[in-house]
Amino acid sequence: MKNTTFLHRLLIGLCLYLFSHILMYGQVVPEVCDSGIENTCLCETAPLQCPVSDLDGLTYTMSLYQHAEDGPEPMCPGQSGTVSNNPTWIAFASWCEELTLEICYDNCTGGGFVDGLQAAVYSDCGDLPGSIVGGGCATDPTGCIDDGCTTLILTGMTVGDTHYLLVDGCNGSACEVEISVIEDCGVELSDEEIVYNGIDDDCNPLTLDDDLDQDGFDVINDCDDTNPNINPDAEDIPNNDIDEDCDGQDFISSTYELDGEQIEIYPNPVSDLLQVNSTSSLSLELNLFNINGHLVISVDNVSTIDCSQLIEGTYLLKVIDVESGDFAIERVVVVK
C-alpha cells in the first residue's frame, strides 16, 4: 500500500514536472506546497493561469504543510486576527475587470474544530494585503465549515494584469479544492496576438504585444518598432533620410572645403548647439545672420554656436578661414 502511494506520488510528481516544463502557458496544475520550495508556496512564484478561464475546473488537494510566513497577516486590510497558515498561491491573468470565482472545498482535515477554507485575491505581491482586489476577501468564519463553497465577486481588476489568488485552510486545515469561474465578462478571447493592446491575447509570451523589434523601446517611444536599429538610443546616420534616433528628423550634416581643409556643419535643423568642425587647425570665424541680414552671433576659434536662445527661423551661417579669407555660407534652420 505504501509503495503504491509512493509510486502514485512519483507519477504525479513526474507529470507535474513535465507539465510545468513543457507548458509555458495555459492551465497549470498547481504543485502542492508540501515543503516550502514549490512554486505555489509564494505569491511571487505562483504559477500563472492564462487566461483566467484556465482557472475554471482547476482541482487540487491542499497540504497540511504550515508556512504562515508566506501569507500576509492580516489576510485582508483592517481584519486583525486573520492569518493564512498553509497558503497556496495561484496567479491568473484577468481578461475582465469584474469576475466571480467560486472555490468549493471538501474533505477538510487537520484544523480541529475549524476545518474549512478562506481565500483572497491581490494585485501585487509586493503589497500584501494592501493590494487586495475589490471583493477579493473571503475570510468570513462561515467559510470555516467542513465543506462548502466560497464565492469571490471580484471588481476593479486591471484587464491583462496578473492577479494572485491565495487559498488557505482555516486553522491550518487542508481540503480538496475545486475552483470555478462561474461568470466572465464576455470578452472574446483571441487565439491570435493582437499587437499593442497591452494584453497577451494568446497567452504565449513568445508572440509579442509590444516592442516587436526587441530593441528595448515600446512603440510609444520607438518611431519604427519593426527595426531594432531605429530607436531613441541609436546613432543618427547623417543625410540618409532616415531618422534613426527618433528625434523627428534625419541628422543633416554639410561639408565644405576651406583653404584645402574640410569643415563639417551639423545638425541642421538645429535646436541648441550647432557644431562646426574642421579637420585641422584652421582658425575660423563664425558669423550667423538672420533672414534680414542682421548679424546675431559672431564668435571665433570655437567649434559650437549656441542657438538655444534664437527664435525659430532660417539663418545664414558664414564660416570664414581667417588666414586665407576663404569662406562658406550654410543655410541653417533653427527649430524649437
**How far is residue 322's CA from residue 286's CA, in Å, rounded to a whole number?**
10
Cell 531618422 found at: 243
Q: Which residue ranges make up the site for Ca ion (CB under 5 A)?
A: 194, 197, 199, 201, 209, 211, 213, 215, 217, 222, 224-225, 227, 230-231, 236-237, 240, 242, 244, 250-251
**How far is residue 180's CA from residue 54's CA, in Å, rounded to a whole number?**
9
Looking at the chain, the number of H-run helices and the number of E-run strands are 1, 17
Residue placing its CB nearer to Ca ion in the complex, 31 or 201:
201
Residue placing its CB nearer to Ca ion in the complex, 215 or 321:
215
- The CB-side HSE value for 304 (13 A sphere, CA atoms) comes to 8
**How far is residue 104's CA from residue 110's CA, in Å, rounded to a whole number?**
18
Cell 574642421 found at: 278
Q: How far is the CB of 189 from Ca ion (least distance, A)?
A: 11
Residue placing its CB nearer to Ca ion in the complex, 38 or 209:
209
**How far is residue 102's CA from residue 106's CA, in Å, rounded to a whole number?**
13
Residue placing its CB nearer to Ca ion in the complex, 31 or 225:
225
Q: How far is the CB of 51 from Ca ion (least distance, A)?
A: 12
**How far is residue 58's CA from residue 204's CA, in Å, rounded to a whole number?**
20
Q: How far is the CB of 223 from Ca ion (least distance, A)?
A: 7
Strands 88-93 and 254-258: unpaired
Residue placing its CB nearer to Ca ion in the complex, 147 or 243:
243
Q: How far is the CB of 50 from Ca ion (least distance, A)?
A: 12
Q: How far is the CB of 203 from Ca ion (least distance, A)?
A: 10
Residue placing its CB nearer to Ca ion in the complex, 70 or 202:
202
Q: Where are the beta strands (DSSP E) in the chain?
A: 48-49, 58-61, 88-93, 99-109, 117-122, 132-138, 148-154, 162-169, 174-183, 254-258, 261-266, 273-278, 284-289, 295-300, 304-306, 313-321, 327-334
Q: How far is the CB of 176 from Ca ion (least distance, A)?
A: 36
Q: How far is the CB of 267 from Ca ion (least distance, A)?
A: 10
Residue placing its CB nearer to Ca ion in the complex, 207 or 277:
207
Q: How far is the CB of 295 from Ca ion (least distance, A)?
A: 32
The phi-psi region of residue 105 (left if phi > 0; otherwise alpha if psi is between -120 and 50; otherwise beta) is beta
| Closest by Cα among 28, 32, 26, 37 to 13 | 32
Residue placing its CB nearer to Ca ion in the complex, 49 or 231:
231
